[in-house]
Each structure stands twice: as C-alpha cells, then as structure tokens.
Amino acid sequence: MSTKPLLLNVRSRDVDCNQQKRYLGTELNCPISACLLLISLPILIFDTCIAVIKGKAIFDYALKQDCLGRTVQYQQFSSGIFKGLPMLWAVLTKRISLCGMPVDIKLNKQQIERLQSYSFISAGLFDAVTLHQASGLATNEKSELLIQQFSANRLGYCSLLLKAAITTFLYNNNKSQLKTPAVFTLFGLKINNDSMTDAVDWVMSDQNIEQDTEQKLKGCKTGCFVNVNSVNLAAVDPQLGVNLNAANRSFADGSGLRIAAKTLGINIKDNLNGTDMLPHLCKAAEAQGVSIYLLGAKPGVAVATAKNLLKQYPRLRIAGAEHGYFERTQDNNAVERINHSNAEILLLAMGSPIQEKWLEDNAPHLTCRTALAVGGLFDFYSGHISRSPIWMRELGLEWVWRLMQEPKSKFKRYVIGNPLFLIRTFVFNRASRGF
Ligand code: UDP
C-alpha cells in the first residue's frame, strides 16, 4: 500500500470554502514562523554546515499520520541543534499549522467521526491533546478537547502555542525515546505507571488478591499517591518510604515526578492525583452502586465534601464522613465505624506521612475493597480551597496556586522543597550514571 503524503499537497486554496469555517489564529502562522526562522538563521546555517562537514544529507525526512489518518511529511536537520527548525518552513509554506490536528495520536472511530467536520484544519506542530499529555493531565475526551481548541479565538490560539512550547521544553523530551514501564522505582519509591483509566479500574476492582504479585492481602488493598513532597519527606523519614512501598499501588502525582522520571528515560503515562481522580471514581461508583467513606481533614470538611459530591453525583452512596483529628488510640473505633458502614472504598485524607502510616497499621483490619490515601483532597472538594485555573495545571504549575493560597503553611513544602527535589533529581541522575 502506498503512503501518499496527502498533506504536503494540500494548499490553502484546496480548503472547502463552502464550509465557511475558519480556525482563527492560523493567519498568525506565517508571521510567527517567518520571525522565528529569521531569528534562528544562525542556527540554520550552523546545522547546515555541521551536516556538510560530516558529509551527511542536510535533512532527514519522516512520514507521520495525523489523527484523521492523513500523511504528513516531517523534515528536520540531520545534525546540529534544534533539529526540528525546518518544520517552521513547512508552516510558512502552509503545509502544516503551528497549532492544528494532532500527529501520532490515536483516536477511536467515534472521535474521528466527530472531527471529520474539522478536516479543513491541517496537522499541527502543537495541539491541545499533546499539551495535556505532555503535562500529564489525563485526557479521556480527546475529540472534545480538540473541538474546544479549534473553536478558540486568536488569543486562545496564541495561548495554546505558548503553553505547548513551554510544556514541550519542560516535559516532553521526545516520548519515542522514553520507556514506559508498568512499574519503576524513583528515589527508592515504587511507582505503578498507570493511566487514569487503569488506576480507577484498580480502585474499583473488588479483587482482594493482587494477581501480579500473588500476594494474598489481609484486609483491603491500599493505594497512595507519590509526589515531590512525599519524596522529600521520605528522604528524611525512611519509615514513610517503607509505608509507601508497602501500598499495593503507588501513583505518580505531579509534574515534579514527571521531570525526575524523564531524566531516567521514563515516560509517566498520566499525572494521577486524587483531585483529578475523584470525578472518575465518583462516576464509576455511582454507576456500579459502590459506596465511599470519607475520613480526614478538619471537622466539617469531610461532611461538606460529601454534600458537594452528592450535588454532582446524586446517586452516589456515601457510607460515612468524619474528620481526621483523633488520637491514634482511637484508630480501632474509626476502623469499626468504617466496617460497620459496609463502605467499599475508603478515601483517607490525613496528609503525608500520617495517612500512609495509618493505612499500614489499619488496612489489615478494614473490610472495604480499597483504601486510598488522598492528602488534602477534601479541602478542595469541600470548597475550602479552590483549584488552580486549568492553564496553570496545563503548565504543571498547580503548586504555585496552592502556595499563593496558603503561603505560610506551604512555604517549606514548595519554596524549599521544590528546588531541593530538583537538586535531588540531579544528584540521583548523576549517581545512577556513575557521576
Ligand atoms: N489532616 C488530618 N489529620 C491530621 C493532620 C492533617 O485529617 O492529623 C488533614 C488536613 O486537615 C488536610 C490534609 O490532612 O486536609 C493534609 O493536606 P495536605 O494538603 O497537607 O496534603 P497533601 O495533599 O499535600 O498530601
């Protein structure tokens, strides 16, 4: 079967004018790419010279497919730096767009059908789905996200371009060169590299025997989220590391872990944090009639969370909601109340390292199917703390928002903790390469 480079032959005049549709912002492609090409002229000359000196062809070509199955020819320098710069020429000559249809992203039949009416939009260097994937935001509604992208105005186009350029620089180091193992270890902590769908399925599953480890569980299965804060805490509190590794599943939470994993050549599938996971869990629990128990946070917060969840998911079964400020001698009573409620999923929101230790001590006595340590989750869903705007999450900067909201209590965690984590990542990386 011949692979015909369709897109290269598609010029703006071929666009079906009857559709009267326009992707606002694409008229910025030419001026932006022309300026960038002009600025990068020294690099273009440098890369050409390097190829000539090495006696190699100046350009490499590759054929890729956009999500509608159209073939796109990619051209890059064979040697030198910023090898992808020739793609700007393809933008200038209107063969591709700066922001457009995603390339190398698989969509299902329904999603492709939904996007057929946007087939006048050519493949892009950047797109909303790739942006979400680069920063690890779980994206189930890919076609929805793309339709939003294509309906944006010029400002939306520029903002996508800027965000995509930043995230590509920060997080997306050519995924094809990264491995995606099912489980890996980072700073001595085990991470299960699950997608959001896999993680939710695992939480909902009523199997109490871990098939992969053949470990027979006493009590319920346990899940934790590993983030920059847990890594920093575990570095000075080895017991937290032991407790995290004892959990049956540990999910990678946040852009910090993504950066650290990338330096080890590992691609993290999805950014799995409790806040993003909860809506998926509630939908699944509502559909399957599974009940949830909320334990943790200050008095009143778990109850307020339960009320808010019931407004959104009226058929959700909340088995109980109570605060997390009690003496450890009272743990047995809490376990009894949870078991008595016949809850199937326990969400434990006491923050690290308390919640991980609590699970280690009490999970063997719980009769629910899964207990998940979710940190400050209830503070968000009760409305006590607002979530960061989506653009901050897209850039992996949710922590900046939390710092702005609680500057005193989060100062140590973020202002000291984040640079410390980056230093740790650098040292860990050097050490694993033998310095
Ligand atoms: N918390 C609790 N019991 C305690 C200490 C803390 O229930 O003994 C709660 C606290 O009120 C907050 C959560 O645990 O709701 C910790 O939130 P944090 O933002 O520190 O957690 P993260 O999500 O960052 O792990």
pLDDT band at 246 (very low <50, low <70, confident <90, very high): very high
pLDDT computed for residue 428 by the predictor: 82
- At 431 the pLDDT is 79
Distance CA 216, CA 157 (A): 52
How far is the centre of ligand 1, averaged over its atoms, from the C-alpha of 394 (Å)? Answer: 25
| Residue 381 CA, ligand 1 centroid: distance in Å | 13
**375 in contact with ligand 1, CB cutoff 6 A:** yes
Q: Counting atoms of ligand 1 from 1, which one is nearest the CA of 350? A: 14
Which H or E run contains 99? strand 97-99
Question: pLDDT grade, residue 144 (50/70/90)?
Answer: very high
Q: For position 212, what pLDDT does the model report? A: 45
Q: Which atom of ligand 1 has the smallest separation from the CA of 227?
A: 25
Average pLDDT, the chain: 89
- What band does 186 get if pLDDT is binned at 50, 70 and 90? very high
Q: Which of 277, 346, 379 for a ligand 1 pocket mutation test, highest count of atoms within 8 Å of Cβ?
A: 379
Asked if residue 18 has pLDDT above 80, the reply is no
pLDDT at 175: 62
Q: CB neighbours of 57 closer than 8 A, spacing ≥ 6?
A: 51, 78
Task: Tell me the pLDDT tens digit for each residue of 63-87.
Answer: 999 999 999 998 999 999 989 999 9
Is the CB–ligand 1 distance for residue 417 below 6 Å? no
Whether the CB of 294 sits within 6 Å of ligand 1: no
pLDDT at 369: 96
Q: Nearest CA to 292 among 271, 273, 313, 272? A: 313
Confidence at residue 14, expressed as pLDDT on a 0 to 100 scale: 43
Residue 156 backbone dihedrals phi, psi, to 5 degrees: -60, -40
189 C-alpha to ligand 1 centroid (Å):
21
Contacts (Cβ under 8 Å, ≥6 apart) of 60:
75, 76, 77, 78, 83
Residue 97 predicted with pLDDT over 90: yes
| Mutation probe of ligand 1 site: the residue of 244, 257, 350, 359 with most atoms within 8 A of C-beta | 350
Q: Is the CB of 297 under 6 A from ligand 1?
A: yes
Mean pLDDT along residues 113-136 = 91
Nearest protein Cα to ligand 1, atom 15: 297
pTM of model > 0.75? yes
Is the pLDDT score of 376 beyond 60?
A: yes
Distances from the Cα of 223 to the Cα of 45, 210, 218, 265, 293, angstroms = 53, 12, 14, 25, 15
The whole-number pLDDT of residue 174 equals: 64
**Contact present, 102 and 64 (Cβ < 8 Å):** no
Ranges of each domain in the chain:
6-172, 183-381
Taking CA atoms only, the protein residue closest to ligand 1 atom 14 is 350
pLDDT tens digit sequence for 308-346: 999 999 999 999 999 999 999 999 999 999 999 999 999
Give the Cα separation of 320 and 302 in Å (integer).
9
Q: What percent of the chain has pLDDT above 70?
A: 91
Please indicate whether residue 354, judged by its CB atom, sits closer than 6 Å to ligand 1.
yes
- The residue nearest atom 17 of ligand 1, judged by CA position, is 376
- Lowest average pLDDT, out of 106-120, 146-160, 210-224, 252-266, goes to 210-224
Ligand 1: centre distance to CA 97 (Å): 45
Rounded-to-integer distance, Cα 427 and Cα 90, Å: 40
Q: d(Cα 48, Cα 59) in Å, to the nearest integer? A: 9
Q: Calculate mean pLDDT across residues 201-213.
A: 72
Residue 270 and residue 196 in contact, taking contact as beta carbons nearer than 8 Å: yes
Name residue 120's amino acid: F
For the chain, give the longest Cα–Cα distance.
76
Query: What pLDDT, on a 0 to 100 scale, did the predictor assign at position 208?
Result: 58
Q: Which residue has the least CA distance to atom 2 on ligand 1?
A: 350
**Any ligand 1 atom below 6 A from CB of 350:** yes
For residue 274, the ligand 1 atom closest to its alpha carbon is: 23
For residue 132, what pLDDT band results from cuts at 50, 70 and 90? confident
| pLDDT(106) > 60 | yes
User: Is 98:21 a contact under the CB 8 Å cutoff?
Assistant: no
> Ligand 1 center to residue 376 CA distance, Å?
5
Output the six-digit token pair for 20: 């009267």
Mean pLDDT (whole number) for 140-153? 91
Average pLDDT over residues 344-361: 97
Reply yes or no on whether the pLDDT at 60 is more than 50.
yes
Would you say the CB of residue 351 lies under 6 angstroms from ligand 1? yes
Range 411-422 average pLDDT: 95
Q: Which atom of ligand 1 is nearest to the CA of 378?
A: 15
Does pLDDT of 410 surpass 50? yes
**Choice between 21 and 305, residue whose per-residue pLDDT is larger:** 305
Residue 408: pLDDT over 80: yes
Q: What is the pLDDT of residue 11?
A: 41
Q: What is the pLDDT of residue 1?
A: 41
Q: Is 385 in the pocket of ligand 1 (CB under 6 A)?
A: no
Residue with the smallest CA separation from ligand 1 atom 5 is 350
* pLDDT score, position 172: 62
Residue 150 has pLDDT above 50, yes or no: yes
Cα 232 to chain centroid distance, Å, stands at 21
Please identify, by atom number, the ligand 1 atom nearest to the C-alpha of residue 377.
23
In the predicted model, what is the mean pLDDT of residues 54-66? 93
For the cut 80, the answer to whether the pLDDT of residue 5 exceeds it is: no
Tell me the one-letter amino acid at 236: V
